[in-house]
Every structure is written in structure tokens, then in C-alpha cells.
Amino acid sequence: MKDISRRNVFHILGAAPAAAALTGQAALAAPQPYRRKIFDDRQWRTVQVLCDLVIPADNVSGSATQAGVPEFIDDWLDFRNREDENQNVTAQIVGGLQWLDNESNRLFQTDFAAAALEQQEQILDRIAWPARASDADLPWVAFFSRFRDLTVGGFFSSKTGVADLPYLGNKAVAAWKGCDPKVWAIIEERMKNGYQGLGGEVKPLLP
């Protein structure tokens, strides 16, 4: 699979001598049905629901679940258990999932995954903005920040996420031209006149 795409990029480039040098790569195994290593069935339902609350589908790309993020997280936790020689990250994640169910049952008499969207959001709104959260909620805030990072990392490193950003590299280009002049014009304009960043107004860069 990858050899074909590689041949294509060089073919497009017309870089035959370079392409000729590229041989002998063992192809990666074809995808097989994923076998869970960490999550039980109930946790798995919660993970799927939570992943898609973090990264839902929109008009650009599919949701985290559609991009295989729950599988990524399950595999990632197993990987960390082995790499870190402890299960602290797994404990934080499955512990956080447990708390979501505890809290959902306390408030709404149903598991988090089965709760209505507004009910799920009511719980998440307490823990999704660290600066606004109450001190009592900080352990769940830390859980959610970790879960969000795992979901975001899993999503945007997936094939779906790479196309969504979009990341346009990891390919052979015929000539390197530096920053696109159209992009630079925007940056230059912002430097001169200031601009509205996501975090608020930023002053002009140049004196």
C-alpha cells in the first residue's frame, strides 16, 4: 500500500532515479478487527459516547468514533501500562468513566452513556473548562483534560483527522518555495494592524 503511494509521488515528480532506490519495504499488515485490551462493555459504550461528545461529526469530517478513536485509546492505555510499568493513566481514565456513571446515576438515575444529551452536557460543563471548575471537581477535570487530549490526539493523527486539519505534507514536493505569499500577506497585515486571536485582541507586532 505505502509503496504504491510512494511510487505515485515520485512518478508525479518524475524523479525516477530516486524512486528506483526505494525498494524492499515490508508492507504493513492489513487492518484486522480490533480486539479490546482495556475497556469492558460498559466502559466501551461510555468511551464511544464521550469521544463523540469531544469530537462530533461536522461538515468537514466524521466523529471521533468514526475515525477509530475509541480503539486508539484502548490500545494506547495498554501501551502506556507496559511502557510506564504502572497503570496510572488507565486508572485515571477508567476511574473517570466510573465517576461519569456515578454522577449520572446520582443526578439522572441512568448511566452516562444512556443519559440525554443535555444531561451529559450538564455534567461535562462542570469539568471541561479547568479555570471555571470548582475545587471539588478538580480530579474529574484532570480526568477530562486527559481524555480530551487522548481523543484529540487520536482523532487528528488518524487518516480522517489528517485530512480534516488539513496536514498537507509527508510527501515529495518538486521545489520548496517557503511560506505561501497569500498566507504571508495575512500574517503581515496582522503584524501591522493587530488582530483578534482566539484568546482576545493582540497588539500590532511592529513598532
Partner 1 sequence: MLEAGAWYDCTKQSDMLQWPYNAPHRAARSKAKPFGYFDATLVGGWQVPGEPYTNAPGTDWLWWRARMLGGRTNHYGRISLRMGPYDFKTRSRDGKGFDWPISYEDLAPYYDKAEELIGVFGTNEGLENTPDGKFQPAPAPRGYERVIKITCDKLGIPCIPSRLAILTQPLNGRPACHYCSQCGRACGVNANFNSPGVHIFPAMKTGNLEVRTGAMAREVVVGRDGLARGVAYIDTKTRRDETVYAKVVVLAASCCETARIMLNSKSGIFPNGIANSSGLVGRYLMDTVGSPVGGHLPILEDLPPQNEDGVGGNHMYMPWWLYKEQKAGQMPFSRGYHIELGGGRGLPGSGALGGSDQILGGGYGLELKRNLRKIYGANIYFDGRGEMIPNDDSYCEIDPNTLDRWGIPVLRFHFKWSDDEILQAKHMQETFQQIIEAAGGKVLYKSGAEDNWGISKGGEIIHEVGAARMGDNPKTSVLNPYCQAWDCKNLFITDAAPFVSNADKNPTLTITALGWRTSEYIADQVKKRNLAV
Handedness of CA 112, 124, 39, 156 (dihedral sign): positive
Q: Which is nearer to partner 1, 19 or 114 (CB)?
A: 19
* Helices and strands in the chain, H and E counts: 9, 2
Q: In whole angstroms, how close is the CB of 137 to partner 1 at the nearest point?
A: 12
The minimum distance between CB 183 and partner 1, in angstroms, equals: 5
Which 139-178 positions form the footprint of partner 1 (CB under 8 A)? 145, 148-149, 152-154, 156-159, 161-162, 164-174, 176-178
The span from the CA of 183 to the CA of 21, in Å, is: 35
Applying CB under 8 A, among 124, 137, 140, 143 the residue interacting with partner 1 is: 124
Report residue 181: phi and psi, to 5°.
Answer: -55, -35
**Grid coordinates representing 125?**
460543563
CB of residue 107 to partner 1, shortest distance in Å = 18
In the complex with partner 1, the residue whose CB is nearer, 109 or 196, is: 196
Three-state DSSP at 202 gives: strand
10: how many CB neighbours lie within 10 A of its CB?
Answer: 18
Q: Is 197 helix (H, G, I), strand (E, B) or coil?
A: strand
Residue of 28, 35, 134, 136 that binds partner 1 (CB under 8 A): 28
Q: For residue 111, state whether it binds partner 1 (rule: CB under 8 A).
A: no
Residues 30-69 binding partner 1 (CB under 8 A) are: 53-56, 58, 60
Q: What residues pair up with 201 in beta bridges, in sequence order?
A: 196
Position among 95, 102, 116, 129 found at the interface with partner 1 (CB under 8 A)? 129
